[in-house]
């Protein structure tokens, strides 16, 4: 089976598909990843075959906006309404035609049997339908596009599909969802669960040296720090230091460290960003609500303090808090309050209700079908399509 992977040009949209890709290659199938350098760079670093189109997308540039220097987006515009978060699909709908014909030509020449993309890569199902092969969407977090927004998106893509000889905008033949039941959306199309596996990269897993109970992983994400998040990270570290006896690993690129400052005793900087390398062994994860961090902490059964900054990260924080597995501070006032941070951190490190709820999330994820089980389903899907053809 020859599987073409297409992703919107954001690395955190692509990386959740890696466990399935590994399972596919492990089963002897050929995989080719295509997209802009934002995606093919991480794919090549993971040892995968790639074909690159266009220039780097620089997604973070879209998030900067016109802000007073030194302020995070949350401090300027606050939490976006739910409709605006769901409306992010419009941007990727507009992006879909940019390389659609390149993807179509590549898929035809490479003779792809199956097309897999993230759930906002609307070009994938179109390419697959034109070629007469099945397509799959792989969601990358806990905030998939709603039924309403998908209908709007398909309406706008109708003329493009008509020019390609299609009667309507195709839907994927299968949708895969890595969110466990307690975190999954209820307003999106039904999907088959697929067990999320924490992305570990090529780094050595972090080794915590203190006794369990006070081990904390702090990973606010590169986008947060790029968007003037250093002061927020500093407040988090000071609040952790005030609780006493905390060992923390702090993920931050060297370029941000002067703004963050010297770390309190018991804390160490790392350039590692992969949650599968940083989170195991921790008693608490402090993060920004990104899909990789949220699902990795859930898969490992670790309580979470979520400090959302953009788009769907607020939904992730809401779901984690509703499941009882963490606390989400979703306003600039709360995030900038030393008292709120200290109270939240203390509760998460001392109240047994949080690790208990996090353990339930972990059990839910362990009951989800593994990526290897999904490979068998994809093989059957492709075979069935060939029979129908």
Under 8 Å between Cβ of 256 and 307: no
pLDDT value at position 385? Answer: 64
Strand partners, 305: 286, 327
Report the pLDDT value the prediction gives residue 119, as an integer from 0 to 100: 96
pLDDT score, position 67? 67
Ordered strands of the 49-52 beta sheet: 49-52, 30-35, 2-6, 114-118, 135-138, 174-177, 192-193
> What is the rounded CA–CA span in Å between residue 227 and residue 352?
34
> Tens of pLDDT along 173-182?
999 999 999 9
Q: Which residue from 72, 61, 15, 64 is spatially nearest to 273, judged by alpha carbons?
A: 15
**Half-sphere exposure for 8 (CA within 13 Å, toward CB):** 23
The sign of the torsion formed by the CA atoms of 18, 24, 26, 31 equals negative
Which structure tokens are listed for 182? Answer: 């307690």
All domains of the chain, ordered by start, with CATH? 2-196+369-388 (3.40.50.2000), 215-366 (3.40.50.2000)
The values of phi and psi at residue 303, to 5°, are -60, 155
Q: What is the largest CA-CA distance in the chain?
A: 66
Map 50-75 to HEC letters. EEECCCCCCHHHHHHCCCCCCCCHHH
State the pLDDT at residue 88.
83
Sign of the CA dihedral with 59 first, then 60, 63, and 68 last: negative
| Mean pLDDT, contiguous 10-residue spans, the chain (389 residues) | 97 95 98 98 96 90 69 91 87 94 98 97 97 97 92 91 94 97 94 95 85 95 91 98 95 96 96 95 97 97 97 96 98 97 98 98 98 96 69
pTM equals 0.94
> Quick one: pLDDT at residue 294?
98
Strand boundaries in 157-240, DSSP class E: 174-177, 192-193, 215-219
CB 164 within 8 A of CB 153: no
Say how many C-beta atoms besides its own lie within 10 A of residue 182's C-beta: 18
pLDDT, tens digit, 9 for 90 and up, residues 8-34: 999 999 999 999 999 999 999 999 999
Query: Residue 303: its pLDDT value, please?
Result: 98
User: Which of 151, 132, 17, 100 has its CA nearest to residue 385?
Assistant: 132
Q: Where are the alpha helices (DSSP H) in the chain?
A: 11-14, 18-26, 37-45, 59-64, 73-77, 82-86, 89-95, 100-110, 123-131, 147-163, 222-226, 230-243, 254-260, 275-278, 291-300, 313-322, 332-335, 338-350, 353-366, 371-388
Place of tokens 């975190």: 183
Residue 217, number of CB atoms within 10 A of its CB: 29
- Give the CA distances from residue 64 to residues 70, 89, 211, 229, in Å, rounded to whole numbers and listed in that order: 11, 18, 40, 12
Q: Are 252 and 269 in contact (CB under 8 A)?
A: yes
Cα–Cα distance list, 142 to 39, 107, 238, 289, 312 (Å): 21, 29, 30, 10, 8
């Amino acid at each position: 089976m020859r599987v073409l992977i297409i992703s919107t040009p954001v690395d955190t949209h692509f990386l959740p598909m890696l466990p399935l890709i590994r399972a596919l290659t492990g089963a002897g199938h050929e995989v080719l990843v295509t997209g802009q350098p934002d995606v093919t760079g991480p794919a090549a670093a993971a040892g995968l075959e790639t074909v690159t189109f266009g220039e780097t997308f620089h997604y973070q540039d879209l998030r900067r906006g016109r802000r007073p220097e030194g302020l995070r987006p949350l401090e300027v515009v606050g939490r976006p309404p739910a409709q605006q978060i769901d409306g992010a699909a419009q941007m990727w709908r507009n992006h879909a035609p940019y390389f659609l014909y390149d993807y179509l030509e590549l898929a035809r020449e490479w003779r792809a049997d199956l097309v897999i993309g993230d759930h906002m890569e609307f070009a994938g199902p179109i390419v697959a339908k034109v070629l007469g092969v099945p397509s799959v969407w792989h969601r990358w977090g806990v905030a998939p596009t709603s039924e309403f927004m998908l209908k709007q998106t398909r309406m706008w893509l109708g003329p493009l599909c008509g020019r390609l000889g299609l009667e309507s905008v195709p839907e994927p033949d299968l949708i895969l969802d890595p969110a466990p039941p307690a975190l999954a959306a209820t307003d999106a199309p039904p999907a088959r669960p697929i067990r999320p596996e924490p992305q570990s990269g090529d780094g050595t897993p972090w080794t915590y040296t203190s006794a369990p109970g006070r081990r904390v992983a702090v990973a606010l994400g590169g986008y947060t720090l790029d968007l003037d998040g250093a002061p927020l990270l500093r407040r988090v570290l000071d609040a952790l230091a005030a609780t006493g006896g905390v060992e923390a690993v702090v993920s931050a690129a060297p370029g941000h460290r002067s703004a963050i400052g010297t770390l309190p005793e018991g804390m160490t900087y790392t350039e590692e960003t992969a949650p599968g390398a940083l989170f195991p062994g921790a008693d608490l994860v402090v993060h920004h609500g990104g899909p990789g961090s949220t699902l990795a902490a859930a898969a490992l059964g670790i309580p979470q303090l979520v400090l959302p900054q953009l788009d769907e990260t607020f939904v992730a924080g809401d779901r984690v808090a509703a499941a009882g597995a963490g606390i989400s501070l979703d306003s600039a006032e709360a995030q900038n309050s030393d008292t709120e941070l200290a109270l939240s951190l203390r509760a998460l490190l001392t109240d047994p209700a949080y690790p208990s709820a996090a353990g339930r999330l972990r059990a839910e994820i362990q009951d989800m079908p593994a990526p290897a089980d999904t490979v068998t389903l994809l093989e059957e899907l492709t075979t069935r399509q060939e029979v129908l053809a």
